[in-house]
Amino acid sequence: MTRSLQAVTYRRPSVLDSSAGGRRLGLETSRGATPTGVQDHPRFFAGFLTSPQVAAAALLAVADVAAARYYQPQLRASLDPVVTGNGDRLRFESFSGCGGVYARLDVLAPGLDGGEVGHGTTNVDVNNPLREALSRLGTDDPLHLRVGPDELAVTTLDGPVVEKKVPLPDRWLRGFAEAQVIAAGFDLRAELPADEAVRFLRGLPRAGGGRRAPGGPRWVVPVGRGLRPTTRAVPGAVCLPGPERLAALQRVLRHSTALRVHGPARGGGGTAATAAAWEAVLPGMRLTLTLSPDASRGFSGEGGVLDALATEEAAGDAELIAVLLAWEPRVEVAGLAAASGLTPERVRAALIRLGTSGRVGYDTAEAAYFHRELPYDSARVERHNPRLRSARALVAAGSVALDGTLATVTAEDGHAHRVRDEAGVLSCSCLWWARYRGGRGPCKHALAVRMVRRGAVPGQDTAIDGGVR
Q: How far is CA 91 from CA 23, 50, 52, 88, 344, in A?
A: 21, 16, 16, 10, 26
pLDDT for residue 266: 64
Give every CB contact of residue 467 below 8 A, 6+ residues apart in sequence.
315, 318, 382
Q: Under DSSP, is residue 95 helix (H, G, I), strand (E, B) or coil?
A: strand
Give the whole-angstrom CA distance, residue 28 versus residue 122.
Answer: 10
Give the whole-angstrom CA distance, residue 240 versus residue 433.
Answer: 24
pLDDT in tens, 308-322: 777 777 778 988 999
Picking from 363, 332, 283, the residue whose alpha carbon sits closest to that of residue 108 is 283
Q: What is the mean pLDDT of the chain?
A: 82
Domains and CATH numbers, the chain: 3-170 (3.10.150), 188-298 (3.10.150), 306-380 (1.10.10.10), 386-453 (no CATH)
Contact 132, 14 (CB under 8 A): no
**How many Cβ atoms sit within 10 Å of the Cβ of residue 431?**
10
Question: 234 or 215: whose pLDDT is higher?
Answer: 234
Long-range contacts, stretch 455-464, CB < 8 angstroms, 24+ apart: 456/395, 458/395, 458/396, 458/397, 458/398, 458/400, 459/396, 459/398, 460/395, 460/396, 461/396, 462/392, 462/395, 462/396, 463/382, 463/392, 464/309, 464/312, 464/315, 464/382
Where residue 109 falls among pLDDT bands split at 50, 70, 90?
Answer: very high
Give the whole-angstrom CA distance, residue 33 versus residue 374.
Answer: 8
Give the whole-angstrom CA distance, residue 71 versus residue 99.
Answer: 9
Q: Under DSSP, is residue 83 helix (H, G, I), strand (E, B) or coil?
A: strand
Query: What is the pLDDT averaged over residues 187-209?
Result: 86
Contact 295, 241 (CB under 8 A): yes
Written as one letter, the residue type at 116 is E
- What letter does residue 322 receive in the DSSP assignment? H
Q: Is 216 exposed, middle or buried (0-12, 13-18, 19+ CB in 10 A)?
A: middle
pLDDT for residue 1: 46
pLDDT for residue 163: 60
pLDDT for residue 160: 47
Give the whole-angstrom CA distance, residue 446 versus residue 404.
Answer: 14
pLDDT for residue 306: 78
CA dihedral angle for residue 362, residue 368, residue 373, residue 376, rounded to 10 degrees: 10
268 pLDDT above the threshold of 50: no
Give every CB contact of residue 84 below 8 A, 6+ residues apart in sequence.
90, 91, 93, 120, 121, 370, 372
Residues forming beta bridges with residue 331, ordered by sequence position: 369
Q: What do you get for the CA distance between the two ends of the chain, in Å?
A: 22
Contact 35, 87 (CB under 8 A): no
Beta sheet of 90-95, edge-to-edge order: 37-40, 29-34, 119-124, 82-86, 90-95, 101-107, 285-291, 276-282, 258-264, 186-193
159 pLDDT above the threshold of 60: no
Give the whole-angstrom CA distance, residue 198 versus residue 326.
Answer: 39
Give the whole-angstrom CA distance, residue 420 versus residue 425.
Answer: 8
Picking from 249, 230, 22, 26, the residue whose alpha carbon sits closest to that of residue 127 is 26
Give every CB contact of residue 174 below 8 A, 6+ residues apart in sequence.
299, 300, 305, 356, 381, 384, 385
117 pLDDT above the threshold of 50: yes
Where residue 380 falls among pLDDT bands split at 50, 70, 90?
Answer: low
350 pLDDT above the threshold of 50: yes
> How many distinct helices (H) and strands (E) make up the chain?
13, 26
pLDDT for residue 164: 62
Q: Parallel, antiparallel, or unpaired for β 143-147 and 400-403?
A: unpaired
Give the whole-angstrom CA distance, residue 454 versus residue 346.
Answer: 14
Give the whole-angstrom CA distance, residue 196 versus residue 199.
Answer: 5
Contact 8, 124 (CB under 8 A): no
Give every CB contact of residue 20 below 8 A, 6+ residues apart in sequence.
none
- What's the maximum distance between 2 C-alpha atoms anywhere in the chain? 77
Picking from 213, 220, 211, 212, the residue whose alpha carbon sits closest to that of residue 240 is 220
Percent of the chain past pLDDT 70, that is, above it, reads: 82
Q: Under DSSP, is residue 138 helix (H, G, I), strand (E, B) or coil?
A: coil
pTM over 0.85: no
pLDDT for residue 310: 72
